[in-house]
Amino acid sequence: MQPRIEILPEKKLVGKSIKMSLANNKTNELWSSFMPKKREIKNTIGSDLYSIQIYDKLLNFKDFNPQTEFLKCAMIETSDFDNIPENMETRILKGGLYAVFIHKGQLTNFHKTTQYIFEQWLPSSNFKLDKREHFELLGKKYNPTDENSEEEVWIPIKQH
């Protein structure tokens, strides 16, 4: 599973966020509150959704544990921040250099993809993690219960 290396331009996003950990996973709650309100967001660009993770400090995945808290966001790209729906927030995705992996299969196997990225690919690459947003781009091929589902996993990187 070799990634493509891409420079992402800055993006304007609108959506919702919630603080959570893997042990106290609130992903379903987050997306359940976002999806019914998504159509209220004006000036969206495309239909791809962004599932963003923001960590307080640069992650050392060897020390990562299920209690590590992070901010998770459910968002969509928009051309501007005019007319933001009530109970929604804005976020600028900083952009920059990313390694982009394709996760194929059901969400229940997602941990295998991240395990490969952080335990095999990253240590043997010429890159290290950068302290920016990690995110999954959920496009037309995404369906969390379908074994043929596909999503892009964007990992912020910089040269060693």
- The pLDDT value recorded for residue 106 is 83
The pair phi, psi for residue 109, each rounded to 5°, is: -100, 10
Q: How far is CA 40 from the centre of its chain?
A: 22
51 in Cβ contact with 72 (< 8 Å): yes
CATH of domain 4-152: 3.20.80.10
- The pLDDT value recorded for residue 56 is 80
10-21 confidence digits (pLDDT tens): 999 999 999 998
pLDDT bracket for residue 160 (50, 70, 90):
confident
> Can you give the residue ranges of every domain in the chain?
4-152
24-61 confidence digits (pLDDT tens): 999 999 999 999 999 999 999 999 999 999 988 766 66
pLDDT bracket for residue 129 (50, 70, 90):
very high
**Is the pLDDT score of 134 beyond 80?**
yes
